[in-house]
Amino acid sequence: MTSRFDTPAGDQDNPRPSDEPSLTITRATPRQFSSLFVAFLLLSSVCFSTIAVVATNESNSTAQPPVDGNARVFVASDRDTEALGIPGGGRGGILLQYVVEANASTENLSRAVDTYTLTTNPETRVRIDGSPRTLQEYRLDQLARVERTNSTSRWPASAPDREDSLFIKDGFIAYMGATSAAEVNAPGAETNGTYLMGPDGRILEYVDYRVALPEPNTTTRYVRETKDVTLNIPAPEDNSSDDVQTVTKTVEFETLDGHTITRTVSATGRGPLTVNRSVTAVVGGYRTNTTYDLASQRVERNLSIDDQTWSKHTTPETSAREARYIDYANAPPSDGERQRLELQATINVTAEVTTDHYFYHPHNDTWTYTHTEVNATYDELTVTDDRPAHVVPPDSVSISQRVIEEPHDRRSIVLSIEGPEHLSERALWSWAALNVEGDSNANAQRLTNVWQVYGVRQYRWGETTSNWDTDPQRTEFPPTLALRLTARQPSPSVEAVGETDVYRHGRVTDLRQRTVPGVSNRATLAENVNLTTATANQTSRIVIRDAPGQITSVTSVFGDEIPVSTTEVTSMEDSSLTYTVIPPEEGEENEPPELRLRLTGPDGTPLPDRKLILTGAVESSVTTNDNGVAYATFDSATITARFPGDPYTENHDIYYSSSHTTAISPGNGSLIVDLWTFFLQPVQAALLSLAVSVGLLVGVGWYTIK
């Protein structure tokens, strides 16, 4: 969809619209009508051609909408949202998860467009739930929506394996994205599937676990005492062998609390007989009721890249929004070597153990409370997650501009970008601001690179366990966004990003670029994604003609500023190409004559080492010497010599514009050749054109009046 901020391919100028003239309607005569009809046909053909070109550009720049009803992730870019019927329009955007005050439904909007941003930190603020937020704020808000409880662990799909310890169950830490990083989607590149990162940024992460404390329990321990007793059964008095006697004895025990209790023991037999017995009594007892309560929790979050670590300490009192990111700064560059971004969380849980003590009194068979003991027990679990990454600082590329001031208040810029070959070593520039002189919107035009950042909805579904149901259950997870990086166009271009007061619109006229090493095809996206991709190219030189101003800043895809220097400001002057015909010397009349060409600046300064393109000469081209002179040999009646002008891809103190001339071989002139040569000159050609135009106007006017 081409908006009023998009520049269709091939549109090189954007002239200021003029005021509409007043219109007077009069009755036309038949002959006037005939003349007007002819003019109408001519005008219609021109308009039809223009409309056809615009329609072609429109159709070529619009991707086909997806056929499914899946909601897109977000719309947040510099495109004009008024075309979608979304209130606000302009440079605003709408996150499709929360379409506010829009007549169109989320599904209909998702069918219409998927959009990209030029950096991972777009400046556009959108209104969600009535409040303005940036894309990064939205991502963090979505992550903060994930509620956690002490008794439940909730994890997104594709999260790392969960770990258990004594009290801590299903613990994990998961990488959820970054503000200054994007996963590369460039098939064949050495960084494909890894994360390119800026040296400063914020890593989004999510830690969850559940605390399964032991259930309350009771333990009882009785204290027993055993005594040995000897029972003597005497002999019967009458010595009767059938006389059996029973002897009973009472044994006293002192309880732990100082009371006396008795136990009876007896023995039966014929005496004389000695019987040894053991008697046991409970002299006391102890009972404990133990309960466990969660006393404190803390999580030590660590982010490591190579040998550098950034830490963050959180507790349950830390807000979910504050807890779920780690900021980092001055991360070490990868220098082409793959790095590991590792997240580590050490979960510490302290449980308060309350033990109530009771004592048993045997003398009255009762329990009495004695005291309460409170202790603490600790548990710790360390979990990790990691990603492959490459940290690329903004100064890993060098960007310089050469400004060429041209006649008629025009200028051109030659932008040079130098840096390492591979994506893992060089910063990717996203756009360059052109300071438009004399424009109320000073940055209404900018040079945009090939890269685009787009968001995909990740982790829509997850699983959860609880202390009451340890079997994982499917659950919906807030649609946090993952950012990916790919190419959206094959070459950089100048785009308008706002209303402009400047007549001219810059355009790219020359490029030196090559495909990113290893990249053979453009990225393939899902069928339901309505984004255009291109093969990723690296550009080392860009020529911008009709530049509205100098480049004031260059921004990387991570939102970092890349230094840009101005090497020199030069000018362009007119060149002059003159000739002298050198006839054959005496005795060499059959030899073709020579032509002496001289190329100079406006003050007569010779221009050496310039290539002249020839037509009608034996040579196809010649090069001027130190005096600005070159020689050619006639191969026809005339020689046309053309100096194409100094290319902006070369370094010159002063650039000279194109010029040309036509010379006639001596002895071969004729009236036709002389006239043709005469009218080839710019001034004469203009006079001829003016005379023809005046003649036509006079003829049509006379015919109309007659």
Task: Enter the tokens of residue 328.
Answer: 């980092």
Q: Is 321 helix (H, G, I), strand (E, B) or coil?
A: helix
Contacts from 355-359 at CB under 8 Å and sequence distance 24+?
A: 355/288, 355/289, 355/290, 356/288, 356/289, 356/290, 357/286, 357/287, 357/288, 358/286, 358/287, 358/288, 358/289, 359/256, 359/257, 359/284, 359/285, 359/286, 359/287
671-680 helix and 682-705 helix, angle to the nearest 10 degrees: 90
Check: CB of residue 76 under 8 Å from CB of residue 97: no
CA 308 – CA 535 distance, rounded (Å): 35
Same domain, 534 and 679: no
Q: Is residue 96 part of a domain?
A: no
Same domain, 438 and 554: yes
Check: CB of residue 72 under 8 Å from CB of residue 455: no
Chain centroid, CA 587 distance in Å: 78
**pLDDT tens-digit profile of 469-525?**
999 999 888 767 788 899 989 999 998 776 655 567 889 999 999 999 888 788 887
- How confident is the model over 219-225, as a mean pLDDT? 96
Does residue 145 register a pLDDT over 80? yes
Q: How far is CA 49 from CA 37, 43, 415, 653, in A?
A: 18, 10, 35, 43
**pLDDT tens-digit profile of 344-359?**
999 999 999 999 999 9
Does residue 20 register a pLDDT over 80? no
Q: Is residue 457 part of a domain?
A: no
Check: CB of residue 505 under 8 Å from CB of residue 494: yes
Does residue 683 register a pLDDT over 90? no
Residues in the chain: 706
What does residue 350 show for φ and ψ, rounded to 5 degrees? Answer: -115, 125
DSSP conformation letters of 506-538: -EEEEEEEEEPTT--SPPP--TT--------EE
Q: Give the best-scoring range by mean pLDDT among 224-233, 475-484, 676-685.
A: 224-233
Task: Enter the tokens of residue 542.
Answer: 């860009």
CA 589 – CA 49 distance, rounded (Å): 55
Q: Is residue 513 part of a domain?
A: yes
CA 151 – CA 414 distance, rounded (Å): 63
CA 676 – CA 681 distance, rounded (Å): 9
Indicate the DSSP class of residue 339: E
User: Percentage of the chain with pLDDT > 70?
Assistant: 74
Edge-to-edge strand list for the sheet holding 152-156: 152-156, 461-466, 473-476
Q: Is residue 401 part of a domain?
A: yes
Same domain, 508 and 498: yes
Which residue bears the tokens 């033990």? 355
pLDDT attached to residue 684:
57
Q: Which residues of 422-451 are buried (b: 16+ CB within 10 A; e: fewer)?
A: bbbbbbbbbbbbbbbeebeebbbbbbbbbb
Same domain, 432 and 563: yes
**Cα first-last separation, the chain:** 53
Same domain, 426 and 536: yes
**pLDDT tens-digit profile of 191-210?**
888 999 999 999 999 999 99
Same domain, 443 and 559: yes
Higher local confidence (pLDDT), 389 or 437 = 389
Contacts of 600 (CB under 8 A, 6+ apart): 575, 576, 578, 606, 607, 628
**Residue 65 CA neighbour count, 13 Å, CB half:** 15
**pLDDT tens-digit profile of 107-120?**
455 445 566 778 88
Same domain, 663 and 679: no
Among 159-173, 225-239, 331-345, which stretch is predicted with the lowest mean pLDDT? 225-239
Angular region, 4: left φ>0, alpha ψ -120 to 50, beta rest: alpha
Last residue within a domain, chosen from 572, 595, 627? 572
Angular region, 57: left φ>0, alpha ψ -120 to 50, beta rest: alpha
**pLDDT tens-digit profile of 619-674?**
999 999 999 999 999 988 899 999 999 988 888 889 999 999 999 887 654 444 44
pLDDT attached to residue 26:
33
pLDDT band at residue 153, thresholds of 50, 70 and 90?
A: very high
Write down the pTM of the prediction. 0.71
pLDDT attached to residue 552:
87
Q: Which residues pair with 476 in a beta bridge?
A: 461
**What average pLDDT is seen over the chain?**
79
- How confident is the model over 379-386, as a mean pLDDT? 97
pLDDT attached to residue 55:
26
Chain centroid, CA 537 distance in Å: 17
pLDDT attached to residue 325:
96
- Residue 534 neighbours by CB distance under 10 Å: 15
Same domain, 564 and 434: yes
pLDDT attached to residue 706:
57
- How confident is the model over 305-323, as a mean pLDDT? 94
**Max Cα distance, the chain (Å):** 187
- How confident is the model over 30-43, as a mean pLDDT? 42
**pLDDT tens-digit profile of 117-142?**
788 887 655 555 556 567 788 788 88
For residues 585, 591, 592 and 596, what is the CA-based torsion angle, rounded to 10 degrees? -40
pLDDT attached to residue 29:
42
Among 51-60, 221-230, 418-427, 519-528, which stretch is predicted with the lowest mean pLDDT? 51-60
CA 253 – CA 261 distance, rounded (Å): 5
Task: Enter the tokens of residue 561.
Answer: 């500023």
What does residue 341 show for φ and ψ, rounded to 5 degrees? Answer: -90, 110
**Residue 115 CA neighbour count, 13 Å, CB half:** 27
Task: Enter the tokens of residue 452.
Answer: 């685009």
Task: Enter the tokens of residue 27.
Answer: 């009755």
Last residue within a domain, chosen from 546, 572, 598? 572
259 class by beta-carbon count within 10 Å (0-12 exposed, 13-18 middle, 19+ buried) = middle
Range of the domain at 567: 394-450+488-572
What does residue 45 show for φ and ψ, rounded to 5 degrees? Answer: -65, -40
pLDDT band at residue 61, thresholds of 50, 70 and 90?
A: very low
Same domain, 581 and 557: no
pLDDT attached to residue 686:
61
pLDDT band at residue 49, thresholds of 50, 70 and 90?
A: very low
Check: CB of residue 22 under 8 Å from CB of residue 687: no
pLDDT band at residue 15, thresholds of 50, 70 and 90?
A: very low
Asked if residue 17 has a cis previous peptide bond (ω within 30° of 0), the answer is no
Task: Enter the tokens of residue 59.
Answer: 């159709």
Same domain, 660 and 689: no
pLDDT attached to residue 138:
75
- How confident is the model over 279-294, as a mean pLDDT? 96
Contacts of 254 (CB under 8 A, 6+ apart): 260, 283
pLDDT attached to residue 271:
80
Higher local confidence (pLDDT), 529 or 595 = 595
Does residue 601 register a pLDDT over 80? yes
Q: Is residue 214 part of a domain?
A: no
Alpha helices in 413-522 (DSSP H): none
Total domain count, the chain: 3
- Residue 21 neighbours by CB distance under 10 Å: 6
Angular region, 306: left φ>0, alpha ψ -120 to 50, beta rest: left
For position 591, which CATH number holds?
2.60.40.10
Same domain, 650 and 504: no
pLDDT band at residue 252, thresholds of 50, 70 and 90?
A: very high
Chain centroid, CA 83 distance in Å: 24
Q: Is residue 174 part of a domain?
A: no
pLDDT attached to residue 146:
86
Q: Is residue 310 part of a domain?
A: no
Higher local confidence (pLDDT), 596 or 41 = 596
Same domain, 578 and 606: yes
CA 15 – CA 107 distance, rounded (Å): 39
Q: Is residue 11 part of a domain?
A: no
Nearest alpha carbon to residue 247 among 227, 278, 271, 226: 271
Edge-to-edge strand list for the sheet holding 325-328: 168-178, 201-211, 325-328
DSSP conformation letters of 238-249: T--TT--EEEEE
Angular region, 376: left φ>0, alpha ψ -120 to 50, beta rest: beta
CA 704 – CA 36 distance, rounded (Å): 10
Does residue 162 register a pLDDT over 90? yes
